Amino acid sequence: MRLTPRRRVVRRASGYEPDMPPTVVVFAPSPLLTVTIEDRAGQPDIHVHAGGQGVWQARMISTLGVPVVLCAALGGEAGDVLQHLLPGEDIELQAVRVGTRNGGYVHDRRSDDRDPIAEAPGGPLDRHEQDALYEVMLREGIEHGTAVLAGPNDDQVIPASLYRRLATDLGANGCRVAADLAGERLDAVLAGGPAVLKVSHEELIADGRAGSDDPADLVAAMRKLRSEGAATVIVSRAAEPALALPADGEGEGDVLEIHVPPLQAAETRGAGDSMTAGVVASLVRGDPIREALRTGAACGALNVVRRGLGTGGEAAIRTLAERVELVDWKG
Protein backbone atom coordinates (compact mmCIF):
# COMPACT_ATOMS: atom_id res chain seq x y z
CA MET A 1 0.00 0.00 0.00
CA ARG A 2 1.42 3.38 -0.98
CA LEU A 3 0.34 6.93 -1.62
CA THR A 4 0.58 8.55 -5.00
CA PRO A 5 2.79 11.63 -5.31
CA ARG A 6 0.91 14.82 -4.56
CA ARG A 7 -0.42 16.70 -7.57
CA ARG A 8 -1.76 20.20 -7.26
CA VAL A 9 -5.08 21.15 -8.80
CA VAL A 10 -4.73 22.20 -12.42
CA ARG A 11 -5.85 25.81 -12.83
CA ARG A 12 -7.79 27.06 -15.78
CA ALA A 13 -5.94 28.14 -18.93
CA SER A 14 -6.40 31.79 -18.00
CA GLY A 15 -4.09 31.26 -15.03
CA TYR A 16 -4.57 31.59 -11.29
CA GLU A 17 -7.81 33.25 -10.27
CA PRO A 18 -7.56 34.88 -6.83
CA ASP A 19 -11.33 34.81 -6.37
CA MET A 20 -11.69 31.10 -7.07
CA PRO A 21 -13.84 29.34 -4.47
CA PRO A 22 -12.37 27.01 -1.85
CA THR A 23 -11.67 23.42 -2.78
CA VAL A 24 -14.08 20.56 -1.98
CA VAL A 25 -12.59 17.24 -0.87
CA VAL A 26 -14.55 14.17 -2.04
CA PHE A 27 -14.22 10.78 -0.36
CA ALA A 28 -14.56 8.12 -3.06
CA PRO A 29 -13.32 4.90 -1.46
CA SER A 30 -14.01 2.57 -4.39
CA PRO A 31 -14.10 4.16 -7.86
CA LEU A 32 -15.33 2.01 -10.72
CA LEU A 33 -13.95 1.38 -14.17
CA THR A 34 -16.99 1.70 -16.43
CA VAL A 35 -17.33 0.43 -19.99
CA THR A 36 -20.50 1.29 -21.87
CA ILE A 37 -21.43 0.26 -25.40
CA GLU A 38 -23.46 2.80 -27.35
CA ASP A 39 -24.88 2.71 -30.86
CA ARG A 40 -23.30 4.99 -33.45
CA ALA A 41 -24.84 4.74 -36.88
CA GLY A 42 -25.45 1.03 -36.38
CA GLN A 43 -21.92 0.33 -35.11
CA PRO A 44 -20.82 -0.35 -31.51
CA ASP A 45 -19.32 2.74 -29.87
CA ILE A 46 -17.29 1.85 -26.76
CA HIS A 47 -16.82 4.36 -23.91
CA VAL A 48 -14.37 3.87 -21.02
CA HIS A 49 -14.67 6.15 -17.98
CA ALA A 50 -14.10 6.39 -14.26
CA GLY A 51 -17.31 6.06 -12.29
CA GLY A 52 -18.89 5.57 -8.89
CA GLN A 53 -20.80 7.94 -6.64
CA GLY A 54 -17.88 10.06 -5.45
CA VAL A 55 -16.40 10.29 -8.95
CA TRP A 56 -19.68 11.49 -10.42
CA GLN A 57 -20.04 14.05 -7.63
CA ALA A 58 -16.48 15.30 -8.13
CA ARG A 59 -17.12 15.68 -11.85
CA MET A 60 -20.24 17.79 -11.27
CA ILE A 61 -18.61 19.96 -8.61
CA SER A 62 -15.71 20.75 -10.93
CA THR A 63 -18.17 21.51 -13.73
CA LEU A 64 -19.43 24.37 -11.57
CA GLY A 65 -15.91 25.81 -11.36
CA VAL A 66 -15.09 24.55 -7.87
CA PRO A 67 -11.75 22.70 -7.54
CA VAL A 68 -11.91 19.16 -6.14
CA VAL A 69 -9.50 16.86 -4.34
CA LEU A 70 -10.61 13.26 -4.87
CA CYS A 71 -9.45 10.79 -2.18
CA ALA A 72 -9.69 7.19 -3.39
CA ALA A 73 -8.28 3.68 -3.06
CA LEU A 74 -6.90 2.17 -6.27
CA GLY A 75 -5.67 -1.36 -6.93
CA GLY A 76 -5.37 -4.07 -9.57
CA GLU A 77 -5.58 -3.58 -13.32
CA ALA A 78 -8.73 -1.50 -13.00
CA GLY A 79 -6.95 0.73 -10.51
CA ASP A 80 -4.04 1.19 -12.93
CA VAL A 81 -6.44 2.48 -15.58
CA LEU A 82 -8.34 4.65 -13.09
CA GLN A 83 -5.05 6.24 -12.03
CA HIS A 84 -4.96 7.87 -15.47
CA LEU A 85 -8.67 8.54 -15.91
CA LEU A 86 -9.46 10.25 -12.61
CA PRO A 87 -7.33 13.43 -12.58
CA GLY A 88 -8.67 16.26 -14.71
CA GLU A 89 -9.11 19.99 -14.95
CA ASP A 90 -9.77 21.19 -11.39
CA ILE A 91 -9.73 17.59 -10.10
CA GLU A 92 -6.68 16.49 -8.12
CA LEU A 93 -6.34 12.80 -7.31
CA GLN A 94 -5.04 11.72 -3.91
CA ALA A 95 -4.89 7.93 -4.23
CA VAL A 96 -3.94 5.17 -1.84
CA ARG A 97 -2.59 2.16 -3.74
CA VAL A 98 -4.03 -1.04 -2.26
CA GLY A 99 -3.63 -4.79 -2.73
CA THR A 100 -7.22 -5.45 -3.69
CA ARG A 101 -8.76 -4.48 -7.02
CA ASN A 102 -11.29 -1.83 -7.98
CA GLY A 103 -14.65 -2.88 -9.30
CA GLY A 104 -16.21 -2.07 -12.62
CA TYR A 105 -18.91 -2.89 -15.09
CA VAL A 106 -19.66 -3.40 -18.76
CA HIS A 107 -23.10 -2.17 -19.82
CA ASP A 108 -24.78 -2.30 -23.22
CA ARG A 109 -26.83 0.82 -23.92
CA ARG A 110 -27.48 0.32 -27.61
CA SER A 111 -31.17 0.07 -26.86
CA ASP A 112 -33.18 2.40 -24.66
CA ASP A 113 -32.34 0.19 -21.68
CA ARG A 114 -29.09 -0.31 -19.78
CA ASP A 115 -28.26 -4.03 -20.08
CA PRO A 116 -25.54 -5.29 -17.70
CA ILE A 117 -23.05 -7.63 -19.38
CA ALA A 118 -20.64 -8.01 -16.47
CA GLU A 119 -20.25 -6.35 -13.07
CA ALA A 120 -17.48 -6.72 -10.47
CA PRO A 121 -17.90 -5.18 -6.99
CA GLY A 122 -14.25 -4.72 -6.06
CA GLY A 123 -12.53 -6.08 -2.96
CA PRO A 124 -12.39 -5.03 0.70
CA LEU A 125 -9.58 -2.88 2.11
CA ASP A 126 -7.50 -4.30 4.94
CA ARG A 127 -6.87 -2.47 8.20
CA HIS A 128 -3.67 -0.75 7.06
CA GLU A 129 -5.29 0.39 3.80
CA GLN A 130 -8.30 1.76 5.67
CA ASP A 131 -5.98 3.70 7.97
CA ALA A 132 -4.07 5.16 5.03
CA LEU A 133 -7.27 6.24 3.26
CA TYR A 134 -8.62 7.76 6.49
CA GLU A 135 -5.37 9.69 6.98
CA VAL A 136 -5.41 11.15 3.47
CA MET A 137 -9.06 12.21 3.78
CA LEU A 138 -8.56 13.71 7.23
CA ARG A 139 -5.54 15.72 6.07
CA GLU A 140 -7.20 17.06 2.94
CA GLY A 141 -10.53 17.78 4.64
CA ILE A 142 -8.92 19.80 7.42
CA GLU A 143 -6.73 21.65 4.93
CA HIS A 144 -9.55 22.66 2.60
CA GLY A 145 -12.53 22.92 4.96
CA THR A 146 -15.34 21.22 3.01
CA ALA A 147 -15.77 17.49 2.47
CA VAL A 148 -18.27 15.22 0.75
CA LEU A 149 -18.53 11.65 2.02
CA ALA A 150 -19.70 9.35 -0.77
CA GLY A 151 -20.51 5.68 -0.34
CA PRO A 152 -18.48 2.69 -1.50
CA ASN A 153 -19.47 0.66 -4.53
CA ASP A 154 -20.04 -2.37 -2.30
CA ASP A 155 -20.70 -2.76 1.43
CA GLN A 156 -17.67 -5.00 1.89
CA VAL A 157 -15.14 -2.34 0.80
CA ILE A 158 -14.94 -0.40 4.09
CA PRO A 159 -16.89 -0.57 7.37
CA ALA A 160 -19.44 2.00 8.47
CA SER A 161 -17.24 2.80 11.47
CA LEU A 162 -14.77 4.57 9.18
CA TYR A 163 -17.52 7.00 8.18
CA ARG A 164 -18.30 7.70 11.83
CA ARG A 165 -14.65 8.50 12.50
CA LEU A 166 -14.32 10.70 9.44
CA ALA A 167 -17.52 12.68 10.01
CA THR A 168 -16.74 13.19 13.69
CA ASP A 169 -13.05 14.04 13.31
CA LEU A 170 -13.50 16.32 10.30
CA GLY A 171 -16.36 18.19 11.96
CA ALA A 172 -14.45 18.58 15.22
CA ASN A 173 -11.58 20.18 13.28
CA GLY A 174 -13.63 22.82 11.50
CA CYS A 175 -14.44 20.98 8.26
CA ARG A 176 -17.96 21.29 6.88
CA VAL A 177 -19.17 17.79 6.02
CA ALA A 178 -21.81 16.78 3.49
CA ALA A 179 -22.90 13.15 3.17
CA ASP A 180 -24.88 11.25 0.55
CA LEU A 181 -25.34 7.90 2.27
CA ALA A 182 -27.84 5.33 3.50
CA GLY A 183 -28.11 2.43 5.93
CA GLU A 184 -25.35 1.94 8.49
CA ARG A 185 -23.23 4.64 6.90
CA LEU A 186 -25.99 7.22 7.25
CA ASP A 187 -26.38 6.26 10.91
CA ALA A 188 -22.62 6.54 11.36
CA VAL A 189 -22.16 10.06 9.96
CA LEU A 190 -24.93 11.49 12.13
CA ALA A 191 -22.50 11.27 15.06
CA GLY A 192 -20.45 14.00 13.36
CA GLY A 193 -23.37 16.39 12.81
CA PRO A 194 -23.10 16.76 9.02
CA ALA A 195 -23.90 20.19 7.59
CA VAL A 196 -25.75 18.57 4.65
CA LEU A 197 -27.29 15.12 4.52
CA LYS A 198 -28.89 13.84 1.29
CA VAL A 199 -30.78 10.56 1.08
CA SER A 200 -33.40 9.15 -1.29
CA HIS A 201 -36.92 8.29 -0.21
CA GLU A 202 -36.34 4.66 -1.24
CA GLU A 203 -33.35 4.51 1.09
CA LEU A 204 -35.33 5.98 3.99
CA ILE A 205 -38.00 3.34 3.51
CA ALA A 206 -35.49 0.50 3.11
CA ASP A 207 -33.72 1.62 6.30
CA GLY A 208 -36.97 1.61 8.24
CA ARG A 209 -36.75 5.36 8.86
CA ALA A 210 -39.94 6.08 6.88
CA GLY A 211 -43.04 3.91 6.78
CA SER A 212 -44.01 4.85 3.22
CA ASP A 213 -43.35 7.32 0.43
CA ASP A 214 -46.11 9.58 1.75
CA PRO A 215 -44.60 13.06 2.15
CA ALA A 216 -45.76 13.25 5.76
CA ASP A 217 -43.82 10.08 6.59
CA LEU A 218 -40.75 11.38 4.79
CA VAL A 219 -40.90 14.74 6.56
CA ALA A 220 -41.18 12.97 9.91
CA ALA A 221 -38.05 10.99 9.04
CA MET A 222 -36.27 14.21 8.02
CA ARG A 223 -37.09 15.85 11.33
CA LYS A 224 -35.79 12.77 13.13
CA LEU A 225 -32.52 13.01 11.17
CA ARG A 226 -32.32 16.66 12.23
CA SER A 227 -32.75 15.65 15.88
CA GLU A 228 -29.96 13.08 15.48
CA GLY A 229 -27.42 15.60 14.30
CA ALA A 230 -27.92 16.58 10.65
CA ALA A 231 -28.28 20.28 9.83
CA THR A 232 -29.78 20.59 6.32
CA VAL A 233 -31.61 17.41 5.24
CA ILE A 234 -32.54 16.74 1.59
CA VAL A 235 -34.66 13.82 0.37
CA SER A 236 -34.74 13.07 -3.35
CA ARG A 237 -37.94 11.41 -4.63
CA ALA A 238 -37.19 10.19 -8.17
CA ALA A 239 -39.63 12.00 -10.49
CA GLU A 240 -41.47 13.69 -7.60
CA PRO A 241 -40.34 17.03 -6.13
CA ALA A 242 -37.47 16.63 -3.68
CA LEU A 243 -37.96 17.75 -0.08
CA ALA A 244 -35.52 19.90 1.88
CA LEU A 245 -35.35 20.86 5.55
CA PRO A 246 -32.85 23.75 5.72
CA ALA A 247 -30.67 24.13 8.78
CA ASP A 248 -32.06 26.23 11.61
CA GLY A 249 -31.45 29.88 10.89
CA GLU A 250 -31.27 29.31 7.13
CA GLY A 251 -34.95 29.06 6.34
CA GLU A 252 -36.84 29.21 9.60
CA GLY A 253 -36.82 25.41 9.69
CA ASP A 254 -39.55 25.14 7.03
CA VAL A 255 -39.75 22.09 4.77
CA LEU A 256 -39.53 22.99 1.10
CA GLU A 257 -40.68 21.18 -2.02
CA ILE A 258 -38.21 21.56 -4.89
CA HIS A 259 -39.90 21.71 -8.29
CA VAL A 260 -37.73 21.38 -11.40
CA PRO A 261 -38.73 22.29 -14.97
CA PRO A 262 -40.23 19.41 -17.01
CA LEU A 263 -37.63 17.49 -19.01
CA GLN A 264 -37.56 14.18 -20.89
CA ALA A 265 -35.30 11.68 -19.13
CA ALA A 266 -32.49 9.92 -21.01
CA GLU A 267 -30.70 8.44 -17.96
CA THR A 268 -32.25 8.54 -14.49
CA ARG A 269 -29.23 7.18 -12.61
CA GLY A 270 -27.00 9.67 -10.86
CA ALA A 271 -29.50 12.51 -10.50
CA GLY A 272 -29.32 12.43 -6.70
CA ASP A 273 -25.51 12.39 -6.76
CA SER A 274 -25.48 15.40 -9.07
CA MET A 275 -27.95 17.18 -6.80
CA THR A 276 -25.69 16.72 -3.78
CA ALA A 277 -22.72 17.97 -5.78
CA GLY A 278 -24.56 21.07 -6.91
CA VAL A 279 -25.69 21.94 -3.39
CA VAL A 280 -22.16 21.61 -2.00
CA ALA A 281 -20.55 23.54 -4.86
CA SER A 282 -23.02 26.37 -4.38
CA LEU A 283 -22.55 26.49 -0.60
CA VAL A 284 -18.76 26.56 -0.88
CA ARG A 285 -19.12 29.58 -3.16
CA GLY A 286 -20.96 31.32 -0.34
CA ASP A 287 -24.49 31.10 -1.78
CA PRO A 288 -27.45 31.00 0.64
CA ILE A 289 -29.14 27.64 1.16
CA ARG A 290 -32.10 28.39 -1.09
CA GLU A 291 -29.82 29.24 -3.99
CA ALA A 292 -27.81 26.09 -3.26
CA LEU A 293 -30.98 23.99 -3.40
CA ARG A 294 -31.90 25.52 -6.76
CA THR A 295 -28.46 24.82 -8.15
CA GLY A 296 -28.48 21.26 -6.83
CA ALA A 297 -31.89 20.58 -8.32
CA ALA A 298 -30.75 21.99 -11.67
CA CYS A 299 -27.68 19.70 -11.63
CA GLY A 300 -29.89 16.68 -10.97
CA ALA A 301 -32.33 17.69 -13.70
CA LEU A 302 -29.59 18.19 -16.28
CA ASN A 303 -28.01 14.85 -15.37
CA VAL A 304 -31.30 13.14 -16.24
CA VAL A 305 -31.35 14.45 -19.81
CA ARG A 306 -27.75 13.37 -20.49
CA ARG A 307 -26.35 9.87 -20.91
CA GLY A 308 -23.13 10.61 -19.03
CA LEU A 309 -23.45 10.49 -15.23
CA GLY A 310 -22.34 13.55 -13.29
CA THR A 311 -22.04 15.62 -16.46
CA GLY A 312 -23.50 18.85 -17.73
CA GLY A 313 -22.56 22.39 -18.68
CA GLU A 314 -22.43 25.22 -16.17
CA ALA A 315 -24.40 27.58 -18.44
CA ALA A 316 -27.26 25.07 -18.76
CA ILE A 317 -27.24 24.49 -15.01
CA ARG A 318 -27.55 28.22 -14.35
CA THR A 319 -30.41 28.49 -16.84
CA LEU A 320 -32.30 25.60 -15.27
CA ALA A 321 -31.64 26.88 -11.74
CA GLU A 322 -33.54 30.07 -12.58
CA ARG A 323 -36.59 27.90 -13.32
CA VAL A 324 -36.45 25.79 -10.17
CA GLU A 325 -39.25 26.68 -7.75
CA LEU A 326 -39.06 26.29 -3.98
CA VAL A 327 -42.51 25.89 -2.45
CA ASP A 328 -43.37 25.67 1.24
CA TRP A 329 -44.56 22.15 2.02
CA LYS A 330 -48.10 22.13 3.34
CA GLY A 331 -48.33 19.10 5.62
Domain that holds residue 41: 22-187
- The answer to whether residue 89 sits within a structural domain is yes
- Is 303:267 a contact under the CB 8 Å cutoff? yes
CATH label of the domain that carries residue 172: 3.40.1190.20
Distance CA 56, CA 28 (A): 10
Q: How far apart are CA 30 and CA 121, in angstroms?
A: 9
CB count within 10 Å of CB 221 equals 22
Structural domain contains residue 85: yes
- In this predicted structure, what is the pLDDT of residue 164? 98
Q: Helix (H, G, I), strand (E, B), or coil: what is residue 310?
A: coil
Distance, CA of 248 to CA of 104 (rounded, Å): 40
Model pLDDT, residue 20: 57
Residue 61 Cα distances to 15, 250, 276, angstroms: 19, 22, 9
Q: H helices within the chain, ranges in order?
A: 53-63, 76-85, 127-144, 160-172, 183-189, 201-206, 215-227, 271-284, 289-305, 314-321
In a domain, 68, yes or no: yes
Amino acid 311: pLDDT: 59
* 28 lies in some domain: yes
Residue 238 is predicted with a pLDDT of 85
DSSP-derived 3-state class of residue 157: coil
Instruction: Note the pLDDT of residue 89.
Output: 85
Q: Is residue 275 part of a domain?
A: no
For the chain, 331 residues long, the average pLDDT of each consecutive 10-residue run is 43 42 93 95 94 94 96 97 94 97 95 90 95 98 97 93 98 97 96 97 97 96 96 93 85 80 68 93 95 95 66 84 93 74
Distances (CA, A) of 330 to 255, 312, 324: 8, 33, 18
pTM reported for the whole predicted model: 0.89
Residue 292: the pLDDT is 96
| Residue 132, C-beta contacts closer than 8 angstroms, at least 6 positions apart | 1, 3, 96
Spatial separation of the C-alpha atoms in residues 207 and 49, rounded to whole Å: 31
Residue 279 lies in a domain: no
- Whether residue 157 is contained in a domain is answered as yes
In a domain, 148, yes or no: yes
Q: How many domains does the chain have?
A: 1
Q: What is the pLDDT of residue 88?
A: 87
Give every CB contact of residue 299 below 8 A, 6+ residues apart in sequence: 60, 64, 274, 275, 277, 278, 312, 317
